[in-house]
Structure 1
Amino acid sequence: MQIILRILEKAGGWTPSLYLKIEHDPFMALVIEATDESGPTGLPCISVAHYGEQNGDLMRDPEMCFEVHEKTLDAFYFRNDYLGIEQWSRSIERGLLYHHISLHHQHQQFAKHWDENLRNQGFLEAFERQLTQRA
């Protein structure tokens, strides 16, 4: 998720109050926010999501949660409300780290593909424009 990392860098890095909403028509808004809880290995984490709306309800399409390492994001959660999918590839259960290796690999592969889409769709440039307009 190099585009997300670059956006985080331009936003000043991860903080507990991190909340970024990038509007970029004709695409769904992209929201990047710090979560209240640490990730499965105790590192800070972020939620990255596109939000749509259905019958007045916000719908994640998709949402992924990542632990924030210095220069990488490590996926552990995937959700798509339109498809009714919620998956944890890494979590703490009964005090032990649960790691579903093949699902984690799928999450990382999906994140790589999503990152390429975000790059091609110009979300980094849209965020840079938002920063310029705020200044």
Structure 2
Amino acid sequence: MKTVLAILQKAGGWRPSLYLKIENPPYMKLVIEATDESGPCGLPALSVAHHGEKNGDLMRDPEMCFELGFAGDAHLNPFYWRNDYVGIEQWSRFIRDGNYCYQPQLHEQHENFAKLWDKNLQRQGFAEAFERQRPQRS
């Protein structure tokens, strides 16, 4: 998710109060926000979601949650995927009864989806849209 990392860097980095909403018509708005809880490995977590609306309800299409790691270089490691329009919620890495659980095939699907989504976000110009709507400092 190089595009999200670039936006995050331009926004001043991860912080507990992080909330970014990027409007980029004709695409659904993109929301990047820090989560209240750490990821399954105890690292800071980030939610990335396209938000739409159906019958007045906020819909995620999709939402992915990532742990923000810095080993080697800044990177995002997925652990959650959700799409409200199709009613699917998936955890590929999680803690259950104090044990770390990992579903390798599902995690690989999440990684592949994140790569495709990142290419789409880059092509759709979300980093540039963030720059345009960001308040200019004097």
Q: TM-score, normalised by structure 2?
A: 0.95
Equivalent residue pairs, number: 134
Q: Of the candidates 98, 102, 113, which is equivalent to residue 99 of structure 1?
A: 102
**% same residue:** 66
1:20 is aligned to 20
Question: Match for 2:44: what amino acid?
Answer: P
Q: Does 1:126 find its partner at 2:129?
A: yes
The 5 Å alignment of 1:25-104 reads 25-70=25-70, 71-104=74-107
Aligned-partner Cα distance in 2 for 1:19–1:25: 19
Q: Which runs of 5+ in 2 are unaligned?
A: none
1:11 is aligned to 11
Aligned-partner Cα distance in 2 for 1:3–1:105: 20
Supply the RMSD in Å over aligned alpha carbons.
0.7
2:2 is aligned to 2
Aligned-partner Cα distance in 2 for 1:86–1:134: 38
Q: Does 1:113 find its partner at 2:85?
A: no
State the shift of 1:130 in Å: 1.2
Aligned-partner Cα distance in 1 for 2:132–2:68: 25
Deviations 1:93-130 (A, max 9, x none): 00000000000000000000000000000000000111
Deviations 1:47-92 (A, max 9, x none): 0000000000000000000000121000000000001100000000
SS in 1 for 2:8: helix
SS in 1 for 2:16: coil
Aligned-partner Cα distance in 2 for 1:76–1:108: 9
Question: Match for 2:17: what amino acid?
Answer: S
Higher helix fraction (1 or 2): 1
Question: Match for 1:8: what amino acid?
Answer: L
SS in 2 for 1:14: coil
Q: Structure 1 segments of 4 or more deviating over 4 A?
A: none
SS in 2 for 1:27: coil
